Structure 1
Amino acid sequence: MNKQLLMAINQICAERNLKPQVVIAAVEQALVSAYRRNFGSSGDVQARLDPETGDMRIYERYVVVTPDEIEDPKTQISPTDAAAIDPRHATVGDEVLIERTPNDFGRIAAQAAKQVILQRIREAERDAVYEDYVDREGELVQGTVRSIEHGTGNLVIALDGGRAEAVMHRPDQIPGERLRVNASVLAYMSEIVRGPRGPMIHLSRTHRNMLRRLLEKEVPEIKQGSVEIKAIAREPGSRSKVAVTATQSGVDPVGSCVGMRGVRIQNIVNELNGEKIDVIEWDADGERFVANALSPARVTDVLLFPELDRTAMVIVPDNQLSLAIGKEGQNARLVAKLTGWRIDIKSETEAVAEGMDELERQHVRMERRTREHAEDLLDAARRILEEETLPDLAAITPEIEEAAAADAFADALAQVTAPEVIPDLDSAILPEKPIPAMPEVDEIKAAEEAEARALAQKLSRAMAGVTDDEDTGFDADAFSRIFGGGAAEGGDEEEGEAADKKKKSRRKDRQMVYDEEAKRVVAVKRRKPTRGGRQFDAEDFESDL
Structure 2
Amino acid sequence: MNSELVAMVEYLEQEKAIDKAILFDLIEDAMASVYEKEVGEESEIKVEINRRTGDVTIIADVVIAEEVFDKRHEIDLASAQKEYGDEVAIGDTVKWTLQQDQMSRIAAQNTRQAIMQRLRTFEKERVVEEYSDMVGELISGTVRHFEKNELIVDFGRAQGGLGKMDRVPRERFDNGDHITALLKEIDERKSGPSIVLSRTDAKLVTKLFEREVTEITNGLVEIKAVARKAGFRTKIAVASDSLDPVGACIGIRGSRVKTICQELNNEKLDIIGYSEDEEEYVREAFKPNPIEEVEIDQDGRLIKLLVSEESYKSIVGRDGENIRLTEELMDWDIEVEKYVYDTEITFDEHIQEAYQTMMKLPNMDEGKARMMIDGGYLSLEGVSEASTDDLVEAGIEADHATEIIEYAKSRLQ
Compared with structure 1, are the counterparts of its residues 124 and 292 closer, same or farther at alpha carbon in structure 2 (3 Å cutoff)?
Answer: same
What CA distance in whole angstroms lies between the structure 2 residues aligned with 1:101 and 1:4?
A: 28
Q: What amino acid maps onto 2:254 in structure 1?
A: G
What CA distance in whole angstroms lies between the structure 1 residues aligned with 2:202 and 2:312?
A: 28
RMSD: 4.2
Compared with structure 1, are the counterparts of its residues 284 and 9 closer, same or farther at alpha carbon in structure 2 (3 Å cutoff)?
Answer: same
- Equivalent residue for 1:160, pick from 142, 155, 158: 155
What CA distance in whole angstroms lies between the structure 2 residues aligned with 1:278 and 1:232?
A: 10
Task: Give 1:337 deviation, angstroms.
Answer: 1.3
Q: What amino acid maps onto 1:17 in structure 2?
A: A
Compared with structure 1, are the counterparts of its residues 275 and 16 closer, same or farther at alpha carbon in structure 2 (3 Å cutoff)?
Answer: closer
Q: Is the 8 A contact 1:127 1:198 kept in 2?
A: no
What CA distance in whole angstroms lies between the structure 2 residues aligned with 1:108 and 1:14?
A: 32
Task: Give 1:59 deviation, angstroms.
Answer: 6.3
Query: TM-score normalized by structure 1?
Result: 0.47
Query: TM-score normalized by structure 2?
Result: 0.60
Compared with structure 1, are the counterparts of its residues 320 and 10 closer, same or farther at alpha carbon in structure 2 (3 Å cutoff)?
Answer: closer
What CA distance in whole angstroms lies between the structure 2 residues aligned with 1:274 and 1:4?
A: 51
- Equivalent residue for 1:346, pick from 328, 331, 337: 337
Query: Which residue of 2 is the match for residue 355 of structure 1?
Result: none
Q: Is the 8 A contact 2:26 2:115 kept in 1?
A: no
Which consecutive unaligned segments of at least 5 residues does structure 2 have?
63-72, 74-83, 85-91, 343-413
Q: Is the 8 A contact 1:173 1:205 kept in 2?
A: yes
Task: Give 1:107 deviation, angstroms.
Answer: 6.2
Compared with structure 1, are the counterparts of its residues 3 and 218 closer, same or farther at alpha carbon in structure 2 (3 Å cutoff)?
Answer: same
Bigger Cα displacement from structure 2, 336-345 vs 109-118:
109-118
**1:325-344, CA deviations, whole angstroms, 9 ceiling, x for partnerless residues?**
33443322221111011112
Q: What amino acid maps onto 1:289 in structure 2?
A: Y
Which consecutive unaligned segments of at least 5 residues does structure 1 have?
62-73, 75-84, 86-97, 352-545
Q: Secondary structure at the match of 2:266?
A: coil
Task: Give 1:289 deviation, angstroms.
Answer: 1.8
Compared with structure 1, are the counterparts of its residues 344 and 189 closer, same or farther at alpha carbon in structure 2 (3 Å cutoff)?
Answer: same
Compared with structure 1, are the counterparts of its residues 167 and 161 closer, same or farther at alpha carbon in structure 2 (3 Å cutoff)?
Answer: same
Q: Is the 8 A contact 1:12 1:18 kept in 2?
A: yes
What CA distance in whole angstroms lies between the structure 2 residues aligned with 1:15 and 1:144?
A: 15
Compared with structure 1, are the counterparts of its residues 181 and 11 closer, same or farther at alpha carbon in structure 2 (3 Å cutoff)?
Answer: closer
- Equivalent residue for 2:202, pick from 208, 220, 236: 208
Compared with structure 1, are the counterparts of its residues 316 and 180 closer, same or farther at alpha carbon in structure 2 (3 Å cutoff)?
Answer: same
Q: What amino acid maps onto 2:269 in structure 1?
A: I
Query: Which residue of 1 is the match for residue 120 of structure 2?
Result: 123
Aligned length: 308
What CA distance in whole angstroms lies between the structure 1 residues aligned with 2:275 and 2:315?
A: 19
Report sequence identity in percent.
28
- Equivalent residue for 1:142, pick from 140, 143, 149: 140
Q: How does 1:8-157 map to 2 (within 5 A)?
A: 16-18=16-18, 20=21, 23-24=24-25, 26-31=27-32, 33-34=34-35, 37=38, 40-41=39-40, 43=42, 45-47=44-46, 49=48, 58=59, 100-105=94-99, 108=102, 114-115=111-112, 118-128=115-125, 130-131=127-128, 132-147=130-145, 154=149, 156-157=151-152
Task: Give 1:263 deviation, angstroms.
Answer: 0.8
Task: Give 1:276 deviation, angstroms.
Answer: 1.6
Please say if 1:312 is aligned against 2:303: yes
**1:221-269, CA deviations, whole angstroms, 9 ceiling, x for partnerless residues?**
21222211111112223222100112xx423211110101111001111
- Larger RCO, structures 1/2 (Cα 8 Å, 6+ apart): 2
